[in-house]
């Protein structure tokens, strides 16, 4: 069990051990649920898309992949997809 103290304007600081364990970061949003009898439940409001986007951004940074790299790959994949599904426009005379 961990004890925390409420400060001015209702601020509570999460102990570093819990922040690290649950990967909580500054600006994290929580839902507070009143369980009655003075008990509360705090639940992070992390959206799945936010979690995944952070994970992707970290991976791209770790691999030194730039936005330009992503856009070039997208252009190449679009050309490949179009050719596989619609053929070569020049060859078909379209």
pLDDT digits (tens, 9 = 90+) for 4-41: 899 999 999 989 999 999 888 888 889 899 999 999 99
Select from 23, 22, 28 the least CA-distant residue to 12.
28
pTM assigned to the model: 0.44
Residues 88 and 54 in one domain: yes
Residues 64 and 87 in one domain: yes
Q: Does 3 reside within a domain?
A: no
Instruction: Give start and end residues of each alpha helix (H) in 1-94.
Output: 16-21, 48-62, 67-86, 89-92
User: In this model, does residue 90 exceed pLDDT 80?
Assistant: no
> Which pLDDT score, from 0 to 100, does residue 91 have?
53
Residues 38 and 57 in one domain: no
Residues 38 and 58 in one domain: no
**Distance separating the N- and C-terminal Cα atoms of the chain:** 72
Token duo for residue 17: 């051990």
Containing structural domain, residue 56: 48-92
Residues 53 and 24 in one domain: no
Residues 88 and 68 in one domain: yes
* Bigger pLDDT: 50 vs 59: 59
Residues 26 and 55 in one domain: no
Select from 18, 20, 15 the least CA-distant residue to 4.
15
């Amino acid at each position: 069990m961990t004890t925390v103290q409420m400060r001015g304007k209702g601020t509570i600081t999460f102990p570093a051990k819990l922040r690290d364990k649950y990967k909580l970061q500054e600006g994290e949003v929580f839902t507070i649920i009143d369980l009655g009898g003075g008990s509360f439940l705090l639940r992070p409001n992390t959206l799945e898309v936010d979690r995944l986007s952070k994970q992707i951004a970290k991976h791209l940074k770790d691999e030194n992949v730039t936005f330009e790299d992503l856009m070039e790959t997208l252009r190449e994949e679009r050309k490949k997809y179009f050719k596989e599904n619609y053929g070569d426009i020049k060859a078909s005379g379209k």
